[in-house]
Amino acid sequence: MPFVYDFDHKHRKPPMEMKDLLGGKGANLAEMTSVLALPVPPGFTISTDACRAYMDGGWPDGLSAEIAKARTRLEKTMGKRIGDPSDPLLVSVRSGAKFSMPGMMDTVLNLGLNDQSVEGLAKQTDDERFAYDSYRRFVAMYGRIVLGIPGEEFDLLLDAAKELAGTTSDAAVPTELLRYLVDAYQQIVERHTGKPFPQDPDDQLRGAVEAVFESWNGPRAIAYRDRERIAHDLGTAVNVQAMVFGNRDDDSGTGVGFTRDPATGTRGEYGDFLVNAQGEDVVAGIRNTEPLSALKDHFPKIHKELLAIFARLEGHYRDMCDTEFTIEQGKLWMLQTRVGKRTGAAALRMAVDMVAEKGIKLSKEEAIERITGDHLDQVLHPQFAGSGYKVLTKGLGASPGAAVGRVYLTADGAQAAAEAGETVVLVRSETSPEDVHGMLAAEGILTARGGLVSHAAVVARGWGKPAVVGAEGLRIVGNTFTVGDTVVEEGDWISIDGTNGTVVLGQVPVSQGETPAEFDTVLAWADVIRAGHLGVRANADNGPDAANARHLGAEGIGLCRTEHMFLGEDRLPIVRRMILADTPSEEQAALEQLRLAQKADFEEILEAMDALPVTIRLLDPPLHEFLPSTEELAIKEATDGLNPEETRLFQAAKDWHEFNPMLGTRGVRLGVLKPGLYAMQVRALMEAALARVAKGGHPIVEIMIPLTIGREEMALARSWVEEAVTSTLAGSTGSGSGSSGRGKKSPAPAAGSLEVLIGTMIETPRAALRAAEIAEDAEFFSFGTNDLTQMTFGFSRDDVEGRMMSAYLELGLLKRNPFEVVDPDGVGELVRLGVERGRSTRPDLKIGVCGEHGGDPESIQTFAKAGLDYVSCSPFRVPIARLAAAQAVLAGHTAARTADRKSASAGVAAKGRTKAKGKG
């Protein structure tokens, strides 16, 4: 395999599909050159193979020879030679990995200039000023990027030169001063490296290529890959391309264009450009750019040509593209394209639009595949609530959502503050790749300079972080920034709204925003795709949460944690009374009171989820969670002394104290020790269900036993539940229902209007292994992957996540935090085993998952593959789970269920469902 490919190399498949080999930038340059025949300056790509070989064993054999050949071909095409003292060819050296990656080496422009060829360039162009401007840019770029010299050293001199010339514009620095700058820059290089600035273009090129390879393993690149979960062994490609000059004259310029608005998705071109400027000038925010639409006035023909190219790109990539272009003396050149990054709102809008557009004809499936969980997350982003706040200043809304935090003016400061637990807004004049760690740590980003395609804007949008850029009224001075007379210090609170560019001093209250119409459209498509494959439920413990979950598209409740009902201020004393009870009758009295309270809670939930399944988990946590802390009581005992009630509580807390409560007396084990507890909960639940039936509702109840380990335990728990169900129902059809069991007659429920299933959580490894026997007494399983992860790894989540998780991830001992993304190998295997064994006993066993993983898109793929019927997650993750479930179906991870398990019915195996029928 060769290491080097010309942009017009005849590949066997479309180069745009060869990003692995050519990197993203190289693949698309080749696509534009060879497939689309667009005006692209010629060049060649040194492949990622070469980079990988370099990382393995240094500069690869044969690479120099290949580069030399490609260079000769390029020189032939261009009719100029690199380094030719009389008419030099200049090139750019551009990094480009498979995924666009901040942290990779910046591009070096104008490579090939030296003390001789700069004179040749001056003569050829008849423009000495241009030649020396190009040379001083090159020496500074090479010094900073390839040789690692701090950029400020060059900037300071440039500023001094401008001051000397009495100008603020780079373009107005006279030739004489530029000559002087080149000289001074070369001295800086020599001082830093101990060697003169490389004059030989071969050395320059080799140095630049090697620096790109090296940058792959730079700390910023590694940090970025960790965060974005990009493999560390991909390597980067290097593109060497003939230079074109946007800084030749006023008939030249450079710009960045999007084929539609990446912030809103609105159709029509969008972008910025600068007359008489080169390369990064547009994104660096150094000069104020003009909107792309203004191109029409300066360069009407080129404007037309560019729009035609945009149309072709969209048709070809069938997506929104972003582009870089340069105009050299009235000729348009395309320097880059790729499918553009976009905000969540734009992603939704474009997906919906493109399904309707004839030129693109996106299928709904493709549309779904283009939306990510992060996109949905973004449109669910908070916004400023109300309108009574005072605007400090305004910038451009570059990335939507509101952020509130303390001001930090350096990336390091922001990172340190965030690590200390503060919420931070990073405020900078502009950002560069050096600031990425601070941007990561911040809730939001505010810059004084730069446009909507500045570094800050692009990076923030990619991450879905709120950002306001180009807030020109803002001036940074030392540890403060000022806006007019207002001085804002580091550590002060500010609020920014990246949707409209507003900046406010202090903390503005934020609220959830309205989702755009396309949000519902796309999710409705997702629901169609996943129907009959993978359901989505929510974890909710009260009526309002359940209603909200239903509003967000939940198809039931997968986990209702009844302990949350015990912790309310009015409940806790009753729970404690039950724990402290000396006699069975005292305990019974407390349970009665709890039953009444729980019944009301259940009724609310069943109402909110009428006609949808509601899984109620019986009490799970260790009892000591309901008792005051022993430490506090011990202190009080030693100081103020305890009253009799407190003395008893203290004793109980000591009695119930456990060394390892998460592995102690909790879940069904608690039921074994306090047998009346579960019966009480089931009675409350059934009474609530009956009350719903009496009101014409259709409750579907699933009663779930937590933390089982095997057959006997499950059978025992089931017997309590069945008994309580039967006796409650019998009571209701006899003399009526109600808390006393002796109230006035209520109409019996209609046959079939009350459905009850009994099942269990699978959250111990043993339960997963013994799933076949447990399924004899369980009509459904729900994997509790939080506990299952803790027990499979032997990781105590609260201890491990804080102390050692980051070290484990850094050392590569774990690929992911298994509490965020379910471990597909270990925990995943237990899930697969549990499913298989459970269904071997009971083919229609309904199976879901209710750990936090149920809302994680990647984990959802694992669950879909395992054959689960539904996932359940917190209400605000429900839309994301709906999307991810559809994507799992599209990826072929699910088999169609032959029958909806909800209606696949009793009697298939072992004990059938407990079907409650009123015998009216």
> What is the nearest approach in angstroms of ligand ADP to the Cβ of residue 459?
11
**Beta-carbon contacts of residue 606 (< 8 Å; ≥ 6 apart):** 614, 688, 689, 692, 697, 699, 701
Residue 771 contact, options Mg ion, ligand ADP, none, Cβ 5-8 Å cut-off depending on partner type: none
> What is the nearest approach in angstroms of Mg ion to the Cβ of residue 40?
13
Which residues in 597-636 contact ligand ADP (CB under 6 A)? none
Number of residues that bind ligand ADP (CB under 6 A): 15
Spatial contact of 637 and 654, defined as CB atoms under 8 Å apart: no
Asked if 378 interacts with ligand ADP (CB under 6 A), we say: no
> 117-125 and 128-141 are packed helices; what angle lies between their axes, rounded to 10 degrees?
140
Asked if 336 interacts with ligand ADP (CB under 6 A), we say: yes
Binding mask 28-47 for ligand ADP (x = CB under 6 A): -------------x------
Cα distance between residue 690 and residue 195, in whole Å: 88
Q: Which two tokens stand for residue 893?
A: 């991870």
Asked if 467 interacts with ligand ADP (CB under 6 A), we say: no
Buried b (16+ CB within 10 A) or exposed e, 559-591: bbbbbebbeeeebeebbbbbbbbeeeeebeebb
Asked if 788 interacts with ligand ADP (CB under 6 A), we say: no
Asked if 134 interacts with ligand ADP (CB under 6 A), we say: no
Which residue's CB is nearer to Mg ion, number 95 or number 276?
95
Q: Which two tokens stand for residue 279?
A: 């390369």
Cα distance between residue 874 and residue 855, in whole Å: 7
Spatial contact of 887 and 857, defined as CB atoms under 8 Å apart: yes
**Quick count: other Cβ atoms within 10 Å of Cβ 392?**
20
Q: Which among 398, 440, 444, 394 has a CA at the least distance from the CA of 424?
A: 444
Residue 244 contact, options ligand ADP, Mg ion, none, Cβ 5-8 Å cut-off depending on partner type: ligand ADP
**Quick count: other Cβ atoms within 10 Å of Cβ 307?**
17
> What is the nearest approach in angstroms of Mg ion to the Cβ of residue 325?
11
> What is the nearest approach in angstroms of ligand ADP to the Cβ of residue 368?
29
**Quick count: other Cβ atoms within 10 Å of Cβ 131?**
25
Which residue's CB is nearer to Mg ion, number 336 or number 343?
336
Q: Which two tokens stand for residue 895?
A: 């088999």
Which residues in 293-332 contact ligand ADP (CB under 6 A)? 324, 326
Cα distance between residue 814 and residue 132, in whole Å: 52
> What is the nearest approach in angstroms of ligand ADP to the Cβ of residue 245?
7
Q: Which among 837, 820, 827, 826 has a CA at the least distance from the CA of 873?
A: 820
Which residue's CB is nearer to ligand ADP, number 40 or number 351?
40
> What is the nearest approach in angstroms of ligand ADP to the Cβ of residue 94?
3
Asked if 417 interacts with ligand ADP (CB under 6 A), we say: no
> What is the nearest approach in angstroms of ligand ADP to the Cβ of residue 449?
17
Amino acid identity, position 489: E
Cα distance between residue 396 and residue 468, in whole Å: 5
Which residue's CB is nearer to ligand ADP, number 91 or number 547?
91
Give the three-class secondary structure for 291.
strand
Q: Which two tokens stand for residue 620?
A: 């799970």
> What is the nearest approach in angstroms of Mg ion to the Cβ of residue 354?
24
Spatial contact of 711 and 773, defined as CB atoms under 8 Å apart: yes
Q: Which two tokens stand for residue 89?
A: 């060819």
**Beta-carbon contacts of residue 861 (< 8 Å; ≥ 6 apart):** 884, 887, 888, 891, 893
Q: Which two tokens stand for residue 72?
A: 């000769």
Which residue's CB is nearer to ligand ADP, number 454 or number 728?
454
Residue 728 contact, options Mg ion, ligand ADP, none, Cβ 5-8 Å cut-off depending on partner type: none
Which residue's CB is nearer to Mg ion, number 269 or number 324?
324
Q: Which of 8, 31, 49, 280 contacts ligand ADP by CB under 6 A?
A: 280
> What is the nearest approach in angstroms of ligand ADP to the Cβ of residue 241?
4
- State the catalytic residues: 455, 850
Question: Which residues sit opposite 783 in a β-bridge?
Answer: 762, 849
Asked if 335 interacts with ligand ADP (CB under 6 A), we say: yes
**Beta-carbon contacts of residue 94 (< 8 Å; ≥ 6 apart):** 25, 107, 238, 239, 240, 241
Asked if 435 interacts with ligand ADP (CB under 6 A), we say: no
Cα distance between residue 59 and residue 3, in whole Å: 12
Cα distance between residue 727 and residue 375, in whole Å: 50
The one-character DSSP state at 115 is: T
Which residue's CB is nearer to ligand ADP, number 245 or number 602?
245
Asked if 862 interacts with ligand ADP (CB under 6 A), we say: no
Asked if 143 interacts with ligand ADP (CB under 6 A), we say: no
Q: Which of 80, 94, 537, 576 contacts ligand ADP by CB under 6 A?
A: 94
> What is the nearest approach in angstroms of Mg ion to the Cβ of residue 66?
25
Asked if 215 interacts with ligand ADP (CB under 6 A), we say: no
> What is the nearest approach in angstroms of Mg ion to the Cβ of residue 400?
24
Q: Which of 48, 107, 204, 785 contacts ligand ADP by CB under 6 A?
A: 107
Which residue's CB is nearer to ligand ADP, number 109 or number 508?
109
Cα distance between residue 201 and residue 90, in whole Å: 10
Question: Which residues sit opposite 310 in a β-bridge?
Answer: none
Which residue's CB is nearer to ligand ADP, number 94 or number 674?
94
Residue 764 contact, options ligand ADP, Mg ion, none, Cβ 5-8 Å cut-off depending on partner type: none
Which residue's CB is nearer to ligand ADP, number 91 or number 352?
91
Q: Which of 109, 376, 411, 670 contacts ligand ADP by CB under 6 A?
A: 109
> What is the nearest approach in angstroms of ligand ADP to the Cβ of residue 37?
18
Question: Which residues sit opposite 914 in a β-bridge?
Answer: 756
Which residue's CB is nearer to ligand ADP, number 39 or number 918?
39
Q: Which of 28, 34, 92, 431 contacts ligand ADP by CB under 6 A?
A: 92
Which residues in 224-243 contact ligand ADP (CB under 6 A)? 241-243
Spatial contact of 678 and 667, defined as CB atoms under 8 Å apart: no
The one-character DSSP state at 58 is: S
For the chain, give the longest Cα–Cα distance.
Answer: 109
Asked if 114 interacts with ligand ADP (CB under 6 A), we say: no
Backbone phi, psi, residue 737, to 5°: -120, 175
How far CA 460 is from CA of 271, 378, 390, 449, 543, in Å, comes to 17, 12, 25, 15, 37
Which residues in 236-275 contact ligand ADP (CB under 6 A)? 241-244
Spatial contact of 273 and 256, defined as CB atoms under 8 Å apart: yes
Cα distance between residue 243 and residue 734, in whole Å: 91
**Quick count: other Cβ atoms within 10 Å of Cβ 84?**
17
Which residue's CB is nearer to Mg ion, number 69 or number 220?
220
Spatial contact of 464 and 345, defined as CB atoms under 8 Å apart: no
Q: Which of 15, 23, 271, 279 contacts ligand ADP by CB under 6 A?
A: 279
Which residue's CB is nearer to ligand ADP, number 50 or number 774?
50
Which residues are at the interface with Mg ion (CB under 5 A)? 106, 324, 336
> What is the nearest approach in angstroms of ligand ADP to the Cβ of residue 92?
3
Sites of contact with ligand ADP (CB under 6 A):
41, 92, 94, 107, 109, 241-244, 279-280, 324, 326, 335-336
